[in-house]
Amino acid sequence: LNLGFSVYHLSRPKYSFLGTDQRLYMRYVLSGNAVMPIANSRYAWMPGIMAYYQGKAKELLLGSLFRVKLQQDSKYTGYKNGAALSFGAWFRLGDAITPTLLFEFHQFAIGVSYDVNVSGLKPATNTRGGLEISLRFTNKNPFMDGKIKPISRFN
């Protein structure tokens, strides 16, 4: 389970090109996600939420991925030689649906998503959205649980 909260523009910097005293509003971001394994299987459900607030603007994203672990633990070392494939979608309330595909391998992940407009702007965009590619590195291997057994020739 991961929960996060952040605040941006604490000093409320000026942003006007015309020399006025207009300042940025502080931006608040709340996020949360979880990996909920399905007992005795290689599957997991990964729900999540993101909320952004800045001045009068706000945005709420709700989504979920379904994760399938592709590689199992080594029966000799206990090392989790992990890889997983996740698929699902995110919904930006009142605006877009984003189908998502994510491949994880050890500490790396690569994802592909596509923003599909479903709001009142749909006629102007012809339901076209934006393709996004993401790369991720996690400092701690998410497939490790600290239960590495020493290799022994006698086991």
> What percent of the chain is modeled with pLDDT above 90?
52
Q: Hey, what's the torsion of the CAs at 31, 122, 115, 67, to 10 degrees?
A: 80
Q: How far is CA 66 from the centre of its chain?
A: 12
Q: What is the mean pLDDT of residues 47-60?
A: 96
Q: Hey, what's the torsion of the CAs at 40, 142, 102, 136, to 10 degrees?
A: 180
pLDDT of residue 141: 65
Question: 4 and 33 in contact (C-beta within 8 Å)?
Answer: no
- Confidence check: pLDDT of 154 > 50: no
Q: What is the DSSP string of the chain?
A: -EEEEEEE-TT--B--SSS---BPPPEEEEEEE--EEPTTSSEEEEEEEEEEEETTEEEEEEEEEEEEE-SPBPTTT--B--EEEEEEEEEETTTEEEEEEEEEETTEEEEEEEEEE-STTHHHHTT--EEEEEEEE-SS-TT--S-PPPP-TT-
The larger pLDDT score, comparing residue 66 to residue 77, is at 66
- Confidence check: pLDDT of 78 > 70: no
Q: What is the mean pLDDT of residues 26-53?
A: 94
Question: 105 and 94 in contact (C-beta within 8 Å)?
Answer: no
pTM over 0.95: no
Structure tokens at 102: 């994510």
- Confidence check: pLDDT of 52 > 90: yes
